[in-house]
Amino acid sequence: MSKLFKPLRLPNGQVIGNRLAKAAMEENLADADHAPGDALIRLYRTWAEGGAGLILTGNVMVDRHALTGPAGVVLEDERHLPRFAAWAQACRSRGAHAWMQINHPGRQLMAELGQPALGPSAVAVNIPGLEKLFAQPRALSEGEIERLIERYVTSTVLAERAGFSGVQIHAAHGYLFSQFLSPLSNRRTDRWGGSLENRARILLLTVEAVRAAVAADFCVAVKLNSADFQRGGFDAEDAAAVVRMLNERAVDLVELSGGSYESPAMQGQARDGSSLAREAYFLEFAERIAATARMPLMVTGGIRRRAVAERVLQGQVEMVGMATALAVEPNLPRRWQAGEEAGVEPIVVAWKNKAFASAATQSIVKKQLALLSRGKPTRPRTSPLLALLGNQLKTRRQARDYRRWVSEID
């Protein structure tokens, strides 16, 4: 049997049925209450039927005032817990583990959402030509940091009550915990900044608090950048050091990815020198970091062919995460288990402006998610320009709806 379909036992004793995971993507498909509705539930049931052993949700926000994008899911209290239970049930309907990814955007908060942006320091997102896209952040106070950790605990406890089998704490892709880890965005001089130990403090304390609040067999995972791909930023040596810190904190799995909005490696716009024909972007970093990890590692980024997925598992990496490939063909795990060599063509937007190319790529992927959520077949060969324009119009409408919703709740 291929290692892809051998079970994986986690440090807490839980067993994942195979080594393929549906990695997180931002869907922007929440219902009018910013909870999972019919669209998300249908989408995740499709992925469950596709045969992945682990299903990670798109990021669920711990604070209704801090969304990574409009129409995002928010879990702050038990008001809509039955809908979250239905979501968990759909994810687990074919035996997969279902982990909720919990997140806060920090400074990567879109200005049109009309909320104040918070970060470790008052350092704005810097993307040439798109400077006005994100709100100007202010630095979090000590009290706000401590209350934010409590929010992660609250969302985790609610996820467990809803029937999810774990959570993944997002500390990658330039979101809040990733901002704390990077010396480019964290310029604090108190106990939350300076040394790597200080910059990692908020992540480590959150992991400890979350772990203490749930059952021993509930899974706690972390998503971490292998690197920021920016000069002077968080690098592979830092990532290895953080993994060593996480070794002491009962973490069940670490997913390694990379990049941020400023350096969008997760769309393949930056490379880490991988020799795998522009696939498995972060594998070489992961294999170096695995030497220090006591928990299983998962690699996500560009994997779309069975041969590459099997190559990932030949070393010390234990799980293969796939995102875009499963947005295009949600049945890949089941087809691979049946012996097919099915693969997915990459979505390539060859525009000179890398920021706009990345946005267009994301727009095409979101179009596929929307189609799947309505029970329709995917169309990955759609026009990048039309996808981008359509997504911008949709985002504008969703942002207007969000501003109305949050003002009514407040």
Confidence at residue 273, expressed as pLDDT on a 0 to 100 scale: 38
Give residue 286's pLDDT: 84
pLDDT above 90 (res 182): yes
Q: To the nearest whole number, what is the mean pLDDT of the chain? A: 92
Tokens of 325: 């490939």
Q: d(Cα 162, Cα 361) in Å, to the nearest integer?
A: 33
| Per-residue pLDDT, 115 | 97
Name which of 86, 80, 95 is nearest 155 in CA terms.
80
303: nearest Cα among 257, 368, 349, 262:
257
Residue 235 token pair? 């690098």
Check residues 303 and 265 and name the one with the higher pLDDT: 303
Residue 302 confidence class, pLDDT cut points 50, 70, 90: confident
Q: Supply the pTM of this predicted model.
A: 0.94
The pLDDT, as a whole number, for residue 195 is 97
Which pLDDT does position 2 carry in this prediction?
87
All domains in the chain, ordered by first residue? 3-409 (3.20.20.70)
Does 407 have pLDDT greater than 90?
yes
- The pLDDT of 88-107, averaged and rounded, is 98
pLDDT in tens, 314-360: 989 999 999 999 999 999 999 999 999 888 998 989 999 888 898 89
Burial of 94 per CB tally in 10 Å (0-12, 13-18, 19+): middle
Would you state the pLDDT for residue 275?
Answer: 39
For residues 211 and 315, the model is more confident at: 211
Cα separation of 96 and 84, whole Å?
A: 16
Structure-token pair, residue 386 = 């039309």
Interval 30-85: pLDDT, tens = 999 999 999 999 999 999 999 999 999 999 999 999 999 999 999 999 999 999 99
* pLDDT greater than 70 at residue 268: no
Task: Tell me if 153 sits within 8 A of 197, measured CB to CB.
Answer: no
Q: Please report which confidence band the pLDDT of residue 269 belongs to, taking 50, 70 and 90 as the band edges.
A: very low
Pair type for strands 8-9 and 15-16: antiparallel
